[in-house]
Structure formats: structure tokens, C-alpha cells
A and B are shown apart, each in its own frame.
Chain A
């Protein structure tokens, strides 16, 4: 098979096509002046969507019904507690990160405990978990906005060779996730479970163990994202995770991961995350009102999914 056709058969290619198109349109409108700034901003904000999107993607790969709605609350609690623990001291940065990871692990276990022990569907289990977590965040935060340690704040807001540091972190995490998904036994397992849980069980895959790990992974990634986002934006806010609920799911779907499970890809998450940011900035540049902007965003997303979906079915 020749290279262009091989490329066209990948479901994630469409999110990149859309991203590049939107980028060109926006840059053309501003006469080329904004190209560097726009790219950097896009990479920075896409990085946060990528981190939570990867976690959500692993969960969605597990098959119909699997979804983690506790992502925003986990981000908020992780940001809040980490900043509180670090208390503006640079020496505590690593400890804060460890706390985030630990928190994510615990919340992931909690999610799966609800799903498994109480036999609640994941959508309800993670939603109720998110109420508990969000309330804990409110109780811990008490309206105070704690600043991040100086070094951490400058790390998250600066760039290396023009590439934002958070984007580099997201890239590293993506590389690990790609290895897990494509090369490891674990990746095969989640794909098998997503296609048929019973068949996976009968080939000797430890289904419950794998699902538990996947929910933990998702929560840990959300925690790390919350930690970085809180540091980036100069403090944890109670609503900081809100937009990432739909974002985490949208980037998975636009990126070409099968919603029915079993089939997923990492590059698409990047394409979709960049696209989601660029669409909003493009419409902003053109000066549309907020309402009209949302309608257009919705229509553009539908168009991209239709294109990608149409390609897949004719394959």
C-alpha cells in the first residue's frame, strides 16, 4: 500500500487536516502576524486537553458504558491540595506532584470500587464520585487562592526552544501512553475488553484488574493535569476543571477513537486538542458574538466527525 493511502486510512488524520485548515485561516486573517503566538498558545492549551484526553481515551477503549465523569473534580481537588501542601515553597514541588499522583490513584480505586462493589454503571459512579471530590475541594479551598511555588509557576509558563514546557510534558506522557497502547500487553488487553468483555475473560485476561488500572490511570492523568493547570494559571480555582469534562470526551471522539470501544489512537488526541483550541480562537479573531461562536463550534465539530466517520465506513 502506498504512503498517501496508508495515511488516509488512519482515522486521526482528519483531526490534523481540520487543525491545519483552521490554523491557516486564522493566520491569513491576521495577516501572518500572529502565527508564532497562536501556535504557542494552541500548544499550551492543547497540552492540558491532551493529558486528560489520554486518560479518558483509555477508559472509553474499555467498551460501551465506560466513561469517567470525575475528571474535572479530580483536577480541581488535585490542584487545590497540591498548592496547599506546597505552600509557595520551591522545595515542596516534587512532594506536591507525588501527592497529586497518590490522590489520583486513590480516586481511581474509589471510582472502580463504586462500579464493581455497588454495581453502579460507570457514568453514575464517576458522577457521584465527582460530587464527593468537588465538595472536598470546596471544603479544602475555602475560597482562598494559594499561589504556586515560584519555580513551578515559571516552568509551566515558559518555553524551551519555542515549545511550551507543558506541551513537552504532554508529549512525554503521550509517548508513554502510545507505548502502553501499541506495544504492551496492557494495550492489547484493554482493546480486547473493549471489543468483547466475555471473550476477553475467556482468553484469560484479568478483566477486573485491567479495568481498575485503567480507571486509576485516568484519574492520575487528571490529577497531574490539575497540578499543572493550577500552577500555570497562578492558583487553583474551584471551577478550573469544569470545561475539561466535555473537552476530555470531545477530543477522544474527534480524534477518531471508536466510542464503542476497542479501538483508539493517541495522535488523534493531539489533533483534536489543537483543533478545539484553534476553532475558538479563529472565531474570536473574526469577532463573532459568544452565542454564534458556540453554534459554529458545534457545527464544525459535527462536520469533522462526519468526515472522519465517513472515511472509516468506506474502508
Chain B
């Protein structure tokens, strides 16, 4: 299969062979999603050609699908009001006629079992009732499933962004099996570890161009980051020394009646770890909602929240970037209930500089930003408040490495100046940045790890077995 030069992407030449997994990396806005849309036919290149299996000429979504190209999007694209099996029907037009429901059900059940053995998703439930991780699993399974004819090329755009380490490993193992059987995969991810371990070949993009295209074994994570144009920063992470000073600023009694109690102290970064969907988000919501009245606004905001799923519970789509940023700080920007536009503009400019929101004008709509930049705005929204406690629900989904490092530094600076962060993350690298980590299992906290004890081994051990780790 050949994809020729695409002018809009400024001279991108990409070839994906059968039986190959190609990793595609690059910063937010480097053109990764654009190239995906060209391949799957939703965008038509202004110059250059796209050919599937050697046949150039035809282009479009239906042509791409007919050639066995499937796409798993970063922003999940299932219909939330339909059941899992009904969503299968939408993607697979061949499932028609009498009794299509049970055939769809059988198909998706088999596929889910193949990719994620041991999952417990009820395929009769509607998408609404599933967690983000489960939705992503279903979407991946639907794309890999094939009736009669197997798909030839699967494009995975940030497939593990909401999956925990265990599920991500299962998926990567399946990708390898799929490729070994002759399929092709285009894997886009900001998690360099899985790109390096899973891909045969890695393509690095920067500003709409391919800057490197080499076999995976020629890269290591350092050279990969350098190829993307980021300065590699060594992990010179200084954990805060003043831990558990004074009384806790935040505490919660043991959840579900067993396990450990939750406590957070001033200036700490507390991590919530464990497998995805084991009650971390619920704990954060409970911490937040119990501190914010639903009936009247607090005079001083104590806690702020950074959402992980920006399209579902983060960004306000009708608003400008500035309004999205300032919504939590309105109390400090106004006098007698009236908002001071001047102060609001200054806040916007200030944060635009501090976290480098890439936009010509803060009055542009939030949706004009790329996904990673939207996430930055949500971060700034929480950090701009005077709140002493910031709760974060896996906020780094789909954010590139460079931005992540910027944000990590901001977090550390803010923590040093006395702010407390509670951070749920599905990425082990982020959990390791925390001062103290609570490991969740089945809704309760099963272990507490401090300082150098925070290692992948200890966290996994605690996630899978009852009792205290280390």
C-alpha cells in the first residue's frame, strides 16, 4: 500500500506494507490526525495521491473502507445511546437481515475476548453505562472484528490513552499477533514505550513533515524524543521533603468500609494508582463534590478539578478559549458579581504565555485548538484559581511529551509553593513523579507507597493482590 505526497501536509511520503506495524509520533499539531484523515478518506489531498493496495485514483471514505482500512479515533466515536452490539452494526454494514443482533453480539464478544481476555464488559449494555476505558476497548474490538474478510489496515490513534498498563499490554500483544498474521497497523501514541516495543518501523512527524522514518530498533526513547524536536530532560525529580507536615488538608475515611484512609497534606503530590476503573475517578469526584455546594458558591474556592475526558466533562464547546479558562476564577475577577473584562483579559494573556497555548487570539473558540492545547487550557483553568487543592482525573490523555514536561514542572513549582495535588493517572511514568501513592483495587485503597518505594513492580503487586505491598 502506498500513500504519496500530500501537499497540505507538506511533502509527506508514507508507505505501509502488509504485515507491518508502523508507529507514528510527533507533537500535538504535527499533522498526525490529518494524515489519518487522508488515509481513511475523510480528507482529500489537494496534491499528491493516496493508493490502497497499489490502486491509485479512487478516494473517499467508502473506498478506504472497501480496501479494509479501519480507524480507531482519539476522540471516541461510539453512539452513547446505543448498545454495544448496535454500535457493531453501525460499523459493519454486512450485519443485516434477520437476527443481526445476536450475530453482532457473538462477533463482538469473540473479538473482545480475543484482544482483552478476562474483560468484564456486558455487551448488552448501552455505551452510556460503560467507563471511558471500556468504551475504548469496545471501539478497538469493533475495528478489529471482521466478518468474512479481515481488515487490512487498522489505524490506532492514541488507543491506550485511557487504558491502564495491563489492558494496554494486552492490546499491544494483540497488535503483534495481528501483524504476524499479515495485517498492518498504524499506531499513533504519545507513550513512547509502547511505540518502541510494538512497532516495526517508526515515523516521526514535525510541523506537517516526516522528519525521520527508520526501523524501530534503531531508536531508543531518548533519540525518539530528540527526533521529535524536544530537548530531553533527565529525570532530576526532586520529591518534596516536607511531607505530612501539620494536619491533612484533605482526608477521606476508608472507602467501601475497608482498606486505608485517604489523606493529603499541604504541598504534596499524591498519586492515585492501580488498574483503570477501580474507583479512582469516583474517589476524586467524591472528594470534589463533598467540598463544593450545589446550592451556593463558596466565597473562596478550596478545590479545583481537572477533567480527563475533555469532550465529556471538560470544555465548554460554545465558548472562547478565554471564557473556558476563566470560568473557575470568576469570583476573583469580579466585583459585586460583575466581571471585570480587563482583569479577565490579563489573566488570559498571562496563562497563554505561561503554558504556551498555541492560538493567535484567546477569543477564538476552544474547539479551534488541537486536543492537547485544549487540555492545557483545562489545566490553566484549575491552576489560575486560588484553590489550595487541585484534583486531577487522568488529565494527560493525548498530550505530547514536550507539553507534559512543561506541565510537570508547573506542578512541581506549584506544589513547592504550598499547593496540594491529587493525581489519578493511568501512566506509570506519571505515578512515579508523585510524592506518595495510594493504590486502588476494587474501589478501595489497598496500599500506600512513599518515596522510592513507588515503582511499577510495587504498584502492580498491590493492584493484583490483596494485602499490603512492600
Residues of A within 8 A of B (CB): 179, 183-186, 188, 191-192, 195-196, 198-199, 201-209, 212, 258, 262-263
Please give, as numbers and ranges, the residues of chain A lying within 8 Å of B465 by CB-CB distance: none
Cβ-defined contact, A199 with B318, below 8 A: no
The answer, yes or no, to whether B292 is at the interface (CB within 8 Å) is yes
Closest 3 CB pairs of A and B: A209-B295, A208-B294, A195-B316
Question: Considering the complex, which residues of chain B in the window 267-325 have a beta carbon less than 8 Å from any beta carbon of chain A?
Answer: 288-289, 292-298, 301, 303-305, 307, 312-319, 323
**B338 within 8 Å of A by Cβ?**
yes
Whether B331 contacts A185 by the Cβ 8 Å rule is yes
Q: Does B381 contact A (CB under 8 A)?
A: yes
Question: Which of the residues A191, A203, A207 comes within 8 Å of B318, measured between beta carbons?
Answer: A191
CB contacts (< 8 Å) of A262 on chain B: these are 316, 318
- Does B330 reach chain A (CB closer than 8 Å)? yes
Chain A residues contacting B301 (CB-CB under 8 Å) are 204
* A172 vs B399: C-alpha distance when bound (angstroms): 48
CB neighbours of B315 from chain A (8 A):
199
CB within 8 Å for A203 and B305 given contacts A183-B338, A185-B334, A191-B318: yes
Contact with A along B58-98 (1 / 0, CB 8 A): 00000000000000000000000000000000000000000
27 A-B pairs whose Cβ atoms sit less than 8 Å apart in the complex: A179-B338, A184-B339, A185-B334, A185-B339, A186-B337, A188-B327, A188-B339, A191-B319, A195-B318, A195-B319, A198-B313, A199-B307, A199-B312, A199-B313, A199-B316, A201-B292, A202-B305, A202-B314, A203-B327, A204-B301, A206-B292, A206-B296, A209-B293, A209-B295, A209-B296, A212-B295, A258-B318
Expressed in whole angstroms, the Cα–Cα distance for A191 and B327 within the complex equals 11
Residue of B nearest to A186 (CB): B337
Q: Is the CB of B297 within 8 A of A184?
A: no
| CA–CA, A258 and B319, complex, Å | 13
Residue of A nearest to B317 (CB): A195
Q: B293 and A206: CB pair below 8 A? A: yes
Q: Is B143 in the interface zone, CB < 8 Å from A? A: no
Name the residue in A204, A206, A209, A263 with the highest tally of chain B Cβ atoms < 10 Å from its Cβ: A204
CB-nearest residue of chain A relative to B382? Answer: A203
Q: How large is the interface on B (under 10, 10 to 19, 20 to 34, 35 or more residues)?
A: 20 to 34
Q: Which residues of A contact B323 (CB under 8 A)?
A: 188
Complex CA–CA separation, A153 to B315 (angstroms): 50
- Contacting pair B314 A206 (CB below 8 A): no
B425 lies within 8 A of chain A by Cβ:
no
B313→A204 contact, CB < 8 A: no
Partner of A207, one of B294, B298, B307, B337: B294
Interface status of B328 (Cβ within 8 A of chain A): yes
CB within 8 Å: A-B pair count: 80
Q: Are A183 and B339 in contact (CB under 8 A)?
A: yes
What residues of chain A lie closer than 8 Å to B292, measured between beta carbons? 201, 204, 206
**What's the Cα separation between A263 and B318 when bound, in Å?**
8
A178 to chain B, nearest CB (A): 12
Complex: A203 Cα to B339 Cα, angstroms: 17
Contact B295 A206 (CB under 8 A): yes
Is B298 a contact partner of A204 (Cβ separation < 8 A)? yes
> Complex Cα distance A186/B315, Å?
18
Q: Is the CB of A204 within 8 A of B318?
A: no
Hey, which chain B residues are within 8 Å of A179, CB to CB? 338
Min CB distance, B209 to chain A, in Å? 32
Task: Give Cα A184 to B304, complex, Å.
Answer: 21
B316 and A196 within 8 A (CB) = yes
Contact call A204/B328, Cβ cutoff below 8 A:
yes
Contact B337–A185 (Cβ < 8 Å): yes
Identify which of B288, B295, B297, B313 contacts A196 (C-beta below 8 A): B313
Q: How far is the CB of A112 from chain B (nearest CB, A)?
A: 11
Find out whether the CB atom of A209 lies under 8 angstroms from the CB atom of B297: yes
Q: A185-B334, A206-B292 are in contact. List 15 more A-B contacts (CB 8 A).
A: A183-B339, A188-B323, A191-B318, A195-B317, A196-B316, A199-B314, A202-B288, A202-B307, A202-B314, A203-B381, A204-B298, A206-B297, A209-B294, A209-B296, A209-B297
CA distance A212 to B297 in the complex (A): 13
Interchain nearest-CB distance for A272 vs B (Å): 21
Which chain B positions have C-beta within 8 A of A195?
316-319
Least CB distance from B129 to A in Å reads 15
Provide the bound-state CA to CA distance between A188 and B303, in Å: 20
Interface string of B338-351 (1 = CB under 8 A from A): 11000000000000
- The smallest C-beta distance from A119 to any residue of chain B, in angstroms, reads 15
Set of chain B residues within 8 Å of A202, measured between Cβ atoms: 288, 305, 307, 313-314
The minimal Cβ–Cβ distance linking A257 to chain B, given in whole angstroms, is 12
Q: Report if A185-B330 is in contact (Cβ < 8 Å); known contacts: A195-B316, A199-B307.
A: yes
- Least distance between A220 CB and chain B CB atoms (Å): 18
Q: When the two chains form their complex, are residues A204 and B316 in contact, meaning their CB atoms are under 8 A apart? A: no
Cα of A25 to Cα of B295 in the assembled complex, Å: 51
Give the Cβ gap from B323 to chain A, nearest Cβ, in Å: 7
